[in-house]
Amino acid sequence: MEAEALADAQRSTRNFKRFLYILMFFVIPIFYAFETTVHWSELTVCMKREAFFLSIFFFYLRYGNPANPGFLFDLLQILLIVWIIQQMNIANLQEDPKCLETGDSLYLYSTEFLFQMILWVCTVMSICVLIMLVGLIIFGIMEAYIYRPRRRRRQGLSTQEFSRLKKVEFRKEDIGENSNLDTCSICLEEFVEKQTVIQMPGCRHNFHEGCVKGWLEYHSICPNCRSDLREQFTSQQRPQQHENPEANGSTISVRVED
């Protein structure tokens, strides 16, 4: 259970990192490139210069990475991008004498545009993060209460169910002329006389315990003829209860199979 919870947490972290990557390296750069291209003629010289360096920086982050440097490095990248956006702040631009020289109304308009852009990106980012958080919570609840129980039901036999399988001594005379029953169809080895084997209920196919155990951890059907073992268990249970009249007096708990 703890291993499962850990795996879930790791998966959530991985998804969150993937989302951040898409946001940082696809959504924002594409939006940035689009806006810069559309408003290129309205940009001042120093904004064009910053746009150029920012593009190179994005390109480096996306393609110039050493192999998988880990989450701390990602965090560093995000902080760097935040720092760069702060560097593009209006106050900084207005203090830059070069920008003021090229300035006037066009300059004010472009700084206004820049401010609007940063505002827009921040709004979009926070909306995305909000939607993702709500999604994570909803999917987490669905995973825990709907999907996982349903999946578990389809999984193999429990140890309790496994112990209900019959262990029999293999005898050649019992199988008679049916020659394909003297072989374990998993390892394809012939059974030795008086060897202990696991017999499937209903179809009576025999297997070595070691061979079939691994299969039944993940499946609840006979590996040879695919008959459902749980169905066999329940159909075996019913006639036994009818045959046993003493069962009426004492309390007997009946396992309910789904």
Decide whether 125 or 203 has the Cβ nearer to Zn ion.
203
- The answer to whether 181 contacts Zn ion (rule: CB under 5 A) is no
Name the residue with tokens 């810069």. 36
Among residues 47, 224, 229, 232, the one that binds Zn ion under rule CB under 5 A: 224
Burial of 229 (0-12, 13-18, 19+ CB in 10 A): buried
Among 50, 198, 205, 229, binds Zn ion (CB under 5 A): 205
With binding defined as CB under 5 A, does residue 211 bind Zn ion?
yes
Rounded Cα gap, residues 181 and 204, in angstroms: 9
Q: Which is nearer to Zn ion, 131 or 187 (CB)?
A: 187
CB of 135 to Zn ion, least distance (A): 44
Q: Interacting stretch for Zn ion, rule CB under 5 A, among 82-90, 118-126, 151-159, 207-215?
A: 207-215
**Closer residue to Zn ion in complex, CB, 51/212:** 212
208 binds Zn ion per the rule CB under 5 A: yes
- With respect to Zn ion, which residue has the nearer C-beta, 58 or 191? 191
Question: What whole-number distance in Å separates Cα of residue 108 and Cα of residue 95?
Answer: 13
Interface pick for Zn ion out of 47, 165, 184, 216 (rule CB under 5 A): 184
- Angle (CA) 192-197-198 rounded to 5° is 160
In the structure encoding, which two tokens stand for residue 69, read together?
């440097």
Which residue number, 128 or 203, has a Cβ lying nearer to Zn ion? 203
Q: Is 232 in the site for Zn ion (CB under 5 A)?
A: no
Which one of 46, 117, 168, 186 is in contact with Zn ion (CB under 5 A)?
A: 186
Residue range at the interface with Zn ion (CB under 5 A); choices 12-20, 27-35, 114-122, 204-212: 204-212
Count CA within 13 A, CB hemisphere, residue 83: 7
Distances (CA, A) of 103 to 42, 46, 48, 223, 248: 11, 10, 14, 79, 98
CA geometry: angle at 165 spanning 164 and 167, to 5°?
A: 120
- Reading phi first (left if > 0) and then psi (alpha if -120 to 50, else beta), residue 184 is in beta
* Residue placing its CB nearer to Zn ion in the complex, 12 or 227: 227
Please state, in angstroms and rounded to a whole number, the distance separating the CA atoms of residues 189 and 55.
65
Per CB under 5 A, 225 contacts Zn ion? yes
Residues 75-134 that bind Zn ion (CB under 5 A): none
Sheet holding 206-207, edge to edge: 166-169, 196-199, 206-207
Per CB under 5 A, residues contacting Zn ion are 184, 186-187, 200, 203, 205, 208, 211, 222, 224-225
